[in-house]
Amino acid sequence: MQESTSGAVRGKQGVRRVAVVGTGVIGASWVAYFLAQGLDVSATDPMPGAEEKLRQAVARHWPSLEVLGLAPGASLDRLRFSAQLEEALADADFVQENGPEREDLKIDLFRRMDAVLPADVVLASSSSGLLMSKVQAACRHPGRVVLGHPFNPPHLIPLVEVIGGEQSSPEAVQAALDFYTAIGKKAIHVRKEVKGHIANRLQAALWREAFHLVEQGVASTEDIDTAIAYGPGLRWALMGPYLNLHMSGGEGGIQHMLDHLGPPIESWWADLGTPAITDALKARIRAGVEEQMAGKTSVAIAAERDQLLVQLLAAKGRAKVIP
């Protein structure tokens, strides 16, 4: 990363109003979370009916946030909405962008935001896969452009991946890390731009083998979901893969585990599949998921998922040793 050409950036103490650009599923979730942290939020989205949909989504998220605990001053009344981008950006101290995943649209959007905001305001994108080196290309002050990628749903899942592009300043990256941490997020610094960042790449590795096992007739979609949700997924909710491996090594820890299971793990890697998502595989997966969803609705599952996430987050918050 290069040194910033835009001067200093606003630190976490200087963020009082967040502008949320794009209020779809991710943007609306961000809005609810920022409001729950006692911040003023200015939101914008050009889609017809966007404000009504946003306020409905925030109202749905609010009870879960109340259970987790609202910051002093948190209020739904601190949300303002404008269909005009430039108007919504007025007085913003930090920007969280959630527009469509199209590079050309992102570049133009960041160009427009960069043109009207003071040079010390960090512009963060929620992009799942685009590189900030491309997105920041048309900005006058590219140093303040970073990626702040949340995990869905952002109002509940703490993870945020922070990544700078080729022209992002170290100060902007650190300011984003500090801001997200100050409002209760688990922010990590991804030190090199890669497609999909960290968490999505790890997910993709699991998805690849999950698709392969269905394609080969080894298991149904329900079998695979059960294997994860009632096996390693329970442990992964508490600790990541490296600490879990360390615990699997007993008194010898990670070194014993690597010495003992290293060769078998390498043999499993060598046997993993590389499936193509063909029409036939898509049909098989769709049929399996439709069978799993019989008698259920996505709305009901999402509501129960969120309730359980709230309980899990509360329990993790009481942990004394597990990070």
Cβ-proximal residues to 319 (8 Å cutoff; 6+ apart), any chain? none
State the Cα–Cα distance between residues 243 and 266, nearest whole angstrom.
19
Q: What's the total number of domains in the chain? A: 2
Helical ranges in 38-131 per DSSP H? 50-68, 85-89, 103-116
pLDDT value at 4 more than 60: no
State whether 59 and 129 are in the same domain.
yes
Cβ atoms of 42 and 90 within 8 Å: the answer is yes
State the Cα–Cα distance between residues 61 and 77, nearest whole angstrom.
15
CATH number for the domain that contains residue 272: 1.10.1040.10
State the Cα–Cα distance between residues 44 and 41, nearest whole angstrom.
10
Task: Considering only the C-alpha atoms of the chain, give the largest distance between any 2 of them, rounded to a whole number of Å.
Answer: 61
Q: Identify the domain containing residue 245 by its residue range.
A: 199-292
> Cβ of 268: how many Cβ atoms within 10 Å?
11
State whether 242 and 263 are in the same domain.
yes
State the Cα–Cα distance between residues 47 and 41, nearest whole angstrom.
18
- Is residue 163 domain-resident? yes
- Is 51 strand, coil or helix? helix
Closest CA to 5 of 172, 117, 162, 123: 172
State whether 105 and 223 are in the same domain.
no
State whether 38 and 148 are in the same domain.
yes
State whether 139 and 217 are in the same domain.
no
* Pairing, β 159-164 against β 94-97: unpaired
Confidence band for 3, pLDDT divided at 50, 70 and 90 = very low
Q: Taking residues 289-317, report their average pLDDT.
A: 95
Contacts by 240-248, CB closer than 8 A, 24 or more apart: 243/322, 243/323
- Is residue 1 domain-resident? no
State whether 178 and 204 are in the same domain.
no
Cβ atoms of 14 and 38 within 8 Å: the answer is no
State the Cα–Cα distance between residues 149 and 169, nearest whole angstrom.
17
**Model confidence pLDDT, tens digit, residues 161-188:** 999 999 999 999 999 999 999 999 999 9
Question: What is the predicted pLDDT for the residue at 104?
Answer: 96
pTM, two decimals, is 0.91
- Is residue 302 domain-resident? no
State whether 169 and 37 are in the same domain.
yes
**Model confidence pLDDT, tens digit, residues 134-152:** 999 999 999 999 999 999 9
Confidence band for 129, pLDDT divided at 50, 70 and 90 = confident
pLDDT, mean over the chain: 94
State whether 62 and 137 are in the same domain.
yes
